[in-house]
Amino acid sequence: QVQLQESGPGLVKPSETLSLTCSVSGGSVNSFYWNWIRQPPGQGLEWLGYIHYSGVTKSNPSLKSRITISIDTSKNQFSLKLSSVTAADTAVYYCARDAIAYDYWGPGRLVIVSS
């Protein structure tokens, strides 16, 4: 059974960089695409970006150059960095496996941007 788990700070100061890691167990990141999605409190889902084990990435144009997604196949995990955060980046952040659509999700990590 594939399991994903997000980890990282739950509180980030404005203008700093949000960093999260998604650890994958029961499967390998050497297949499929691996995604980050977020959900602001009380709002809908927003796709942030994905990475393939080959290193190919694609991200939401709305994030412009603030987002970096990387993968570490030796640790079977992938990561998200979002720079210059503001209160608008406060959300639950999810990682998800993208086989044909998102068949496995992490439980989510609430990240609050506040000083």
- Applying CB under 8 A, the residues found at the interface with another protein are 35, 37, 44-47, 50, 58, 60-61, 94, 96, 98, 100-103, 105-108
Task: Enter the DSSP assignment of 10.
Answer: S
Q: Which is nearer to another protein, 72 or 103 (CB)?
A: 103
Q: Which is nearer to another protein, 41 or 74 (CB)?
A: 41
Q: Which is nearer to another protein, 82 or 96 (CB)?
A: 96
- CB-based contacts of 59: which residues, under 8 Å, 6+ apart? 48, 49, 50, 67, 69
How many residues are present in the chain?
115
Query: Cβ of residue 115: shortest distance to another protein, in angstroms?
Result: 27
CA distances from 103 to 35, 67, 115 (A): 11, 23, 36
Residue (of 85, 114, 105, 4) closest to 45 by Cα position: 105
Residue pair 95/6 in contact by the 8 Å Cβ criterion: yes
Q: Which is nearer to another protein, 54 or 74 (CB)?
A: 54
